[in-house]
Amino acid sequence: MNIPAGAYAIVAVIVLLLLFLAWNHIRQRRLIRRLQDLASSLEQSRQQIIQEQQRNRQLKQEMTSNIAHELKTPVSSIRGYLEILLGDKPVEESKKQFFLERCYSQTLRLSDLINDVSVINKLEESSDLFPKEEISVAEIADEAVLELEEQCRSHSIVVHNELPRQMIVIGNHSLIYSIFRNLLDNSIAYAGDGIEVGIDCYKKDDEKYYIRFYDTGAGVDSSYLPKLFDRFLRIDEGRSRKSGGTGLGLSIVKHAVLFHGGDIYVRNRDGGGLEFFFSLKKK
């Protein structure tokens, strides 16, 4: 039986058409699957953004509440002293001087709190406003040590700054200063008397310097270590509270390290004290 040549052509066309339809169906299914995956990814991103917004809102509410709590004590103290000084009953000169000194001390605490809150807000919301320049990390650490030299001497604290002089980064001077200043403040306030503080560069690579800051004093309970950079953290054991700090110092340290492209963690030091390990990006 002879099949016309045209029939072969028709069959071939039908086969090609069926193949095209099958390929197109597979393509559509793949496209639909990709669109579904994209929609799922977008929904996950949307949920993450919502969760992050809720988290930020909660953190701001907590910070506002904590700030209000922190402000209450010095404001109440100042008000109490001034009410006595301005009252009808006469006050001895020695007591007047004492009350004025206490008022001044509390105003300094208020000023520190306002400055620290301002730095954290600026880092979180407008970090691009911090200028960067070429700076020597060792020299900035020297500045912090020199600034707190008298406090160290009064507590018999010896500081060893062993950072190499050629440690140069592109960063913000005031923020790197705040890292060393707050870490040293923390050691002075909580680590105890007669201790040693050390600062060294234990590692470096093409991108970062890795710095260790440690003291030989009192450490903290291991349960507090993950929370040590939280705002307004109060620790009642180990490192007892001895000063009227703002409770924001270590939080500023963490923000300043992150600003410079680094990471930071803390652990209890073998033999006593705390060790902070952090990195700073070179450029």
Task: Answer whether residue 240 shows pLDDT above 60.
Answer: no
Domain end point (choices 129, 160, 195): 129
Residue, of 13 and 115, whose pLDDT is higher: 115
DSSP structural state of residue 142: H
Q: How wide is the angle at C-alpha 215 spanned by C-alphas 214 and 218, nearest 5°?
A: 130
Residue 3 pLDDT grade (very low, low, confident, very high; cuts 50, 70, 90): low
Mean pLDDT is lowest, of 44-53, 129-138, 236-245, for: 236-245
26 exposed, middle or buried (CB, 10 Å; 0-12, 13-18, 19+)? exposed
Residue 221's domain comprises: 132-281
Domain end point (choices 73, 96, 129): 129
Is the same domain home to 76 and 197? no
Assign residue 194 the CATH number of its domain. 3.30.565.10
Task: Give the C-alpha separation, 256 to 247, whole Å.
Answer: 16
Is the same domain home to 255 and 145? yes
Instruction: Summarize pLDDT for 63-79 with one digit per residue, the tens.
Output: 677 777 778 878 888 99
Domain end point (choices 107, 129, 151): 129
Assign residue 6 the CATH number of its domain. 1.10.287.130
Q: Supply the mean pLDDT for the chain.
A: 85
Per-residue pLDDT at 238: 40
Total domain count, the chain: 2
Which amino acid would we find at residue 166?
A: Q
Instruction: Summarize pLDDT for 30-65 with one digit per residue, the tens.
Output: 888 888 888 888 888 888 888 877 877 776 777 677
Is the same domain home to 94 and 168? no
% the chain with pLDDT above 90 = 41
Is the same domain home to 102 and 141? no
Pairing of strands 274-281, 196-204: unpaired
